[in-house]
Amino acid sequence: MRAVIKNIIPRKILDSRGDPTIEIEVVVRGGRGANVSFGRAAAPSGVSKGKHEVIDFPEGGVDASIKKVRGLIAPKLIGIVASEQEKIDGLLHELDGTSNFSKIGGNAAVAISMAVARAAASALGKPLYRYLGGGRAVRLPHPLGNVLGGGAHAGKMAPDIQEFISIPFGAKRFVDAAFANAQVHKKVKTLIEAEDMTFTGGKGDEAAWAPNLNNLDALGVLARACEEVAGEVGFEVRPGLDVASTSMYNAKKQKYVYERGSVNRDGGEQIDFILKLIKTYKLSYVEDPLHEEDFDGFAELTRKAKKQCLICGDDLFATNVGRLQKGLKVGAANAVLIKPNQIGTLSDTLAAVKLAKKHDCVTVVSHRSGETPDETIAHLAVAWGCPLIKAGVAGGERVAKLNELIRIEEELGKEAKMGILQ
């Protein structure tokens, strides 16, 4: 017996910044034993948003989205078989009627879409990763850990660069990788205290340390911490960055404004700067090194990096198939960030993943700066075989994803493998 949607319940909840977001419960009847089952999912919110993302909430915020769900969405979805994911996601687009979910809100759409999948999986008695990925879902992603933060995620005296990241590429088990990142996070604090005598342990939105350091000093701390922890754990831990360049790009001046270094760089100088950082600090991952419209600059950097480093597009692509197609055509990146709430439904998200994989572009499932304890993205990374996940290091809403992946690895037992970078 197929599980049919019987009710959709929206509610306003808190995200990790204390801001309101939306949570959805989908109640179904049928499936294994014809019992009542349900799925629950909550949408995150980003503060560093690309302009090509869907609109998270319409005018009126979360409350307006909840009214739309109750009055417009729920009546149309009740009675549909929960396993018909593409049909349901298509209806969400149709009922909204806009290209960017500005009527019902992308956060409401993605929370419904994810909750439907969770309800369908529950009705079958399967974990979500197995329901979505089948028997081939056995690979755990390597975790990217934001251990030192700046930019829009931290205070005014923090570095311009948004995220300083540790990546335990050499780990053979996810649990070891997760704890290696935690070790780097602790090591970074000790090294910051030696560099900045005024440091009081402040953290940014993603629980990364937010020190009064310039970009290069912060990068030096990161590189040293990764090297020392690698020696302690016995496998490779390498540094990476999320530059979040759009947030520092001045379109009128056509310059990247580095306030901590009192430096303005044009596009060519920015490329040279990033290449120098890659070489000097042996970076393995650089996200959004250029602003969200510079496809040609991304392509030049990716070409010059010569596969020594993953050049990842976030704002550039916004988990949007159309923008990803444009970028892949010119070789704009060799990695793509995957954020379901950037595009609004699981079906749209999976389409971006499939396109990236078809072109040997590494997929990186990602959290947002304003998170909830929802751990759906952990299941998506395993279900879709994404080799990397960006889920933070510390804080309950971050470790919820990491701990879920530890559980999945344990459940898989001898089948479990670490993701392969294409």
d(CA 250, CA 159): 17
Phi-psi domain of 164 (left: phi exceeds 0; alpha: psi -120 through 50; beta: other): beta
- Single-letter residue type at 372: T
**Among 68, 189, 339, 390, the one annotated catalytic:** 339
Tell me if residue 381 falls in helix, strand or coil: helix
Q: CA angle, corner 391, sides to 110 and 395, nearest 5?
A: 105
First to last CA, the chain: 39
What is the maximal distance between C-alpha atoms in the chain?
66
What amino acid is encoded at 363 in this protein? T
27 three-state secondary structure: strand
Amino acid at 43: A
CA distance 179 to 406: 10
Exactly one of 23, 25, 206, 371 is catalytic; name it: 206
Annotated catalytic, 206? yes
E strand or H helix at 337: strand 335-338
For 253, counting Cβ atoms within 10 Å of its Cβ (0-12 exposed, 13-18 middle, 19+ buried), the class is: exposed
Kindly list the catalytic residues. Answer: 206, 339
